[in-house]
Structure 1
Amino acid sequence: MKKILLIGAATLMVSNPTFAGGILTNTNQHASFLRMIARGASIDIDGVYSNPAGLSFLTEDGFYLSLTGQSAYQTREITSTFPLFQAVDGEGTSRLYKGTASAPFIPSFHGAYKKGDWTISASFAITGGGGKASFDDGLPMFSAAAMGLLATKGLTPDKYIINSAMDGRQYIYGAQLGLSYKINDWLSVFAGGRMNYFSGGYEGFLDAKLIPERGGSQLANIELDCDQTGWGLTPIIGADVKFGKWNFAAKYEFKTNMNIENKTHKIDVNPVEAEPLLAPYKDGVNTPSDIPSLLTIAAGYEILPTLRASVEYHFYDDKSAGMAEGRQKYLTKGANEYLAGIEWDATKQLTISGGYQNTDYGLSNNFQTDTSFYCDSYSLGFGAKIKMNSHLNLNIAYFWTTYDDYTKTSENYNNTTIKGTDVYARTNKVFGLSVDYHF
């Protein structure tokens, strides 16, 4: 019975980001990213995040302001194959567990003031996480572990009922401030920082009872309700180099050391002797949750006065970022992203664009869990920039991601001593709208 409780309580957190980017990093902070994707060499207000050094090359002095709203929707599916499932309904050994994550409205703000060679900039956005995930039927790790252990007690699946469900949420709010300086006609540099505030939590339960015909008595029970908070500072540096029709840019975000602290409202465990296993989730306990360092390198080229293209590379040093129980050590490498984008001024008032991103994680079976799994992917985005007048621009975009399924097979599935397989799959769709104003 202890094994059920340990597996259930110790894995109730859902930590997959809803946005684009690395394991704990969101890179889509503006609709310009969604419509073109490769914005690391941008010289526009979205550069407050993607290329802050390039702000010194803005064509006019004055204030630049931008408000962005995004809607993100994601599904997470686990197809679990486990022999004991056959005994429940006789329909097969596989079950589909589906979770939904949604963030109907995610706002962000970018602002800059340019005066001569100096530009001060600031932003506020959700820089990590960004949604809530719900698995209404629980997860295979709960059901399989309970079924395996109850089998050792002589109880077959037709003699009991297991109910479980879980919700998890995670947001990292980032407030950034920095200063850009144009050293000469072709070189600009940036230095700044971002204050990150983590807010998350999870609620879940597992309940195993004998069927009514056998008395309906309770075999196991977990109830867990916990909020988590934490904060950390990210130093940021950058540089931008302009040569004729070329623009080259680089940015480095240092690793953010961050611990998250529990504020636990409820832990109920049956049997009570298993309570020590829940120690990591008791009130006041701290868990490492570092944001990895990020290196971005980008190049943009003006093919024609009305046609521009960009390519970009991202590296997330995930293996050096502390995670709960040292989980990062199971990664085979840091994450690599390859981006490309193009935009065309169809008219003086309308610019249309599209982009591509490929994300390659260093995944392994030991790293992947039901509550926190990732899949290599590619993303496509398209949209438009509309010049409403000389001061006001509107960006509108749609962005979606196609994921590769990840198959994890274990000879000891969820510590049941029985072979089983999980196939992890995801979908992701994001719509964004940004309003940019200059005066």
Structure 2
Amino acid sequence: MKFKQKLMILGTILSATSFAGSIDYLSQQDAEYLAHPAMVGKIGVSGAYYNPAGLVWLEDGTYIQVNNQTHLKDYSMEYNGEKFKSDKASPAVPSVQIVKKAGDTAYFFHAGAIAGGGSVAYGGGIATFPEIVGSNPLFGLIGAEYVGGSTIHGQSYYVAFQGGIARKFNEAWSGAVGLRLVDAERKFKGEGNFEYNNLGGKLGSGKAKFDIDSERTAFGASGIFGLNYHPNNKFNLAMRYETETKLDFDNKESKLRKGFIESTGSSVLGDKFYDVVLGNPAIKQWMSEGSGRRNLPAVAALGASYKVAEKTTLLASGNYYFIKEAGDDLGNFDHYDNGYEVAVGVDYELNEKWTLMTGYQYTNTGANEKTYTDTDYVLDADMYSMGAKYKYNSQLDLMGTYSFVQYKTDKNLKDITYKKRVSAIGLAAIYKF
């Protein structure tokens, strides 16, 4: 059985979407993150991902947390007054955490989508198509224009399994070490149509068809290290470091050149269309020339929680992404700065049954106008979150959460404007044996 197929044991369909994190990373690894993204300093079953060293401070027992997130997405790009939109939702984004705590030791496991841009479907193509025509002298010479096409489908998800062990050093300090395995897949499929009219038709006219079906795959591993300081029941401080994940992508695509040659009826003209389109960075990364390393950068995370009153706990955390140091054969990260996130949150115990949660996060992706392409762009964002946890009984907790993410509108150097909005609903059940 293939590695990523094993996640189907969860009984759900993986369709991740990127709305928090930097580069390809997804920070929202469970439903609780959607209630307050300041998770790094918190002690709980979610620590199987966010704070593994803090798991030793749980009560003894075996815990299972099953999560699902539903993402409602509105992505758009605009060029020269023409808009291209994708509103394809991701109804099922599953993840699971398992923790076994006994004495001074805890074992942890987490499975989910660690990175990726999710699933999108742009009706009528993408803004790169008319931009290529408008900016290329050759297309101007032959009178080429983009006349539309079928929906462009994109999909990017990185399935991850991670596990490890946490151990108390003394009455205040604990540490953790773990291993993550990542199976990455990126797909780009669709069609677009161009028309050309050489010198008023004197040298021929016709159509040229953009037809692509690309799949990029890679497998990698990374180490996870954690420290936790828990001097009393009010204060907790935690740190997590993840090493860079080497991902050497193999790119398979065979239809693009053939489609241009067959539609124009000329190997010469077809190759000219192919060469011009291939020169665009939004397309080049999906061809065989796009094979090579696109590593996930190392990450450092720091967080704290403090119980300021009997019923109120304050949370704060941050993630830092070492993008500039990440291995990249394709130039994807050439103009990036290192990215970061800062988040705050509040837990309020309304009564013995209900806990209310809320939080905010700011994401600086490290991206800028030199980095954006239609098939690879990440935007800075503000994330607003809320949720509630219900203690059904001594063994079972239920959780419902919601986040709204407002992205910064931005343009690339080719004057293509990018916009995003995402709403997410999270549901979780936590059972203790």
Common fold by TM > 0.5: yes
Contact 1:101 1:132 in 2 (8 A): yes
Aligned mates of 1:280, 1:376 — CA distance in 2: 23
Contact 2:125 2:148 in 1 (8 A): no
Point out where structure 2 has 5 or more consecutive residues left out of the alignment. 1-15, 262-268, 279-283
> Any residues of structure 2 matched to 1:15-34 within 5 Å, and which?
17-34=17-34
The residue type paired with residue 167 of structure 2 is Y
Q: What's the C-alpha RMSD, in Å, of the aligned pairs?
A: 2.5
1:248–1:161 CA distance, 2 compared to 1 (3 A):
closer
Aligned partner of 1:91 in structure 2 is: none
Aligned mates of 2:169, 2:377 — CA distance in 1: 44
Aligned partner of 1:75 in structure 2 is: 74
- Give the deviation of 1:200 after TM superposition: 2.2
Aligned partner of 1:246 in structure 2 is: 235
- Give the deviation of 1:73 after TM superposition: 2.2
Contact 2:294 2:330 in 1 (8 A): no
Contact 1:34 1:381 in 2 (8 A): yes
Contact 1:73 1:103 in 2 (8 A): yes
Aligned mates of 2:427, 2:63 — CA distance in 1: 17
Deviations 1:205-241 (A, max 9, x none): 2321259x97995342221112222111010000000
The residue type paired with residue 345 of structure 1 is E
**Does the alignment pair 1:356 with 2:360?**
yes
Aligned partner of 1:232 in structure 2 is: 220
The structure that is strand-richer by fraction is: 1
1:156–1:287 CA distance, 2 compared to 1 (3 A):
closer
Aligned partner of 1:44 in structure 2 is: 44
Match of 2:321 among 295, 316, 325: 316
Partner secondary structure for residue 55 of structure 1: helix
- Give the deviation of 1:128 after TM superposition: 0.8
1:223–1:308 CA distance, 2 compared to 1 (3 A):
same
The residue type paired with residue 328 of structure 1 is F
1:282–1:338 CA distance, 2 compared to 1 (3 A):
closer
Aligned partner of 1:286 in structure 2 is: 291
Contact 2:66 2:96 in 1 (8 A): yes
The residue type paired with residue 420 of structure 2 is R
Point out where structure 1 has 5 or more consecutive residues left out of the alignment. 1-15, 82-93, 414-420
TM-score (norm 1): 0.84
- Give the deviation of 1:182 after TM superposition: 0.7
**Does the alignment pair 1:143 with 2:130?**
yes
Question: Number of residues paired by the alignment?
Answer: 397
**Does the alignment pair 1:98 with 2:103?**
no
Aligned partner of 2:154 in structure 1 is: 168
Partner secondary structure for residue 319 of structure 1: coil
Identity of aligned residues (%): 25
- Give the deviation of 1:290 after TM superposition: 0.7
Match of 1:329 among 328, 334, 347: 334
The residue type paired with residue 253 of structure 1 is E
- Give the deviation of 1:42 after TM superposition: 1.5
1:321–1:393 CA distance, 2 compared to 1 (3 A):
same
> Any residues of structure 2 matched to 1:8-407 within 5 Å, and which?
17-58=17-58, 60-81=59-80, 94-129=81-116, 131-149=118-136, 152-153=140-141, 155=143, 161-163=147-149, 165-209=151-195, 217-244=205-232, 245-264=234-253, 266-267=255-256, 268=258, 269-270=260-261, 271-274=269-272, 281=286, 286-323=291-328, 325-331=330-336, 333-407=337-411
Match of 2:418 among 409, 417, 424: 424
Deviations 1:300-341 (A, max 9, x none): 10111211011111101111223452221211x211111000
Aligned mates of 1:140, 1:276 — CA distance in 2: 18
- Give the deviation of 1:179 after TM superposition: 0.3
After alignment, is 311-320 or 284-293 more displaced? Answer: 284-293
Deviations 1:53-91 (A, max 9, x none): 000010x2121111111111222222223xxxxxxxxxx
Aligned mates of 1:256, 1:132 — CA distance in 2: 22
Aligned mates of 2:346, 2:251 — CA distance in 1: 45
